[in-house]
Amino acid sequence: MFLLNSFLQRLDQLDKEMFLTINRRWSNRLFDELMPFLRQSEYWAPLYLVLLIFVLVNFKIKGCWWTIFFICTVALTDMTGTYLFKHNLERLRPCSDPDFSYHVRLLVNHCSGGFSFISNHAANHFGMALFFYFTFRKVLGNWVWTAILWAASIAYAQIYVGVHYPLDVLAGAVWGSIIGITTGRLFNKHIGFAIFEK
């Protein structure tokens, strides 16, 4: 038990050091403007709406099923992130931790409510990105990688603006990826676009 506690304390220390590196030492004017923009849903939600319209128009009934799977992916990542992780682990956000918040360079109007581990932004976007990757990789080719880069940039923004630790984001990305891969493979197995059919 002592070794476990010692390991967890060291991990927490490394996590905070990495947070300070990203949030303070690697800061620059461009990212100070860009990163708060990236984490705001009102800016990227239209992109997902356009994607859903594209799928529905081009793939008809299968597009409807794809949309249902896509929404289920987001719902799973968001609900499990909140109720399985956040409500049980109750890790304070860096910007709301009274012992640490004075180190934080907060670039948003307020510190987000709720707990920090895991990052739902990271989980949701990596879930969507991996679902998109697995269902569209043979339709769009290498362009599907842009979804993963997009998710990574949004995840990174959570640390940069001061609302999540790196481990929150990493765990969220892994968890979201697991769900996105699972729902993507289920879609391909049971429905799939024409290119997946044998």
Tokens 């630790």 correspond to 165
Residues near 85 by Cβ (< 8 Å), separated by ≥ 6? Answer: 117, 118, 171, 175
Q: What is the pTM of this model?
A: 0.92
Q: Quote the longest CA-to-CA distance of the chain.
A: 58
Over the stretch 61-107, which tens digit does the pLDDT of each residue have?
A: 999 999 999 999 999 999 999 999 999 999 999 999 999 999 999 99
| C-alpha–C-alpha distance, residues 40 and 85, integer Å | 22
Query: With the CA atoms of 197, 64, 174 and 76 taken in that order, what torsion angle do they form, in degrees rounded to the nearest 10?
Result: -130
Over the stretch 130-146, which tens digit does the pLDDT of each residue have?
A: 999 999 988 888 888 99
Over the stretch 51-67, which tens digit does the pLDDT of each residue have?
A: 899 999 989 999 999 99
Q: Which two tokens stand for residue 72?
A: 């289920």
| C-alpha–C-alpha distance, residues 141 and 188, integer Å | 16
Over the stretch 35-52, which tens digit does the pLDDT of each residue have?
A: 999 888 888 888 889 989
| C-alpha–C-alpha distance, residues 137 and 108, integer Å | 35
Look at 43 and 129; give whichever has higher pLDDT.
Answer: 129
Question: Confidence band (pLDDT; 50, 70, 90) for 195?
Answer: low
Average pLDDT, the chain: 92
How much is the pLDDT for 197?
A: 41
**DSSP output for 78-103:** HHIIIIIIIHHH-PPPTTT-TTTGGG
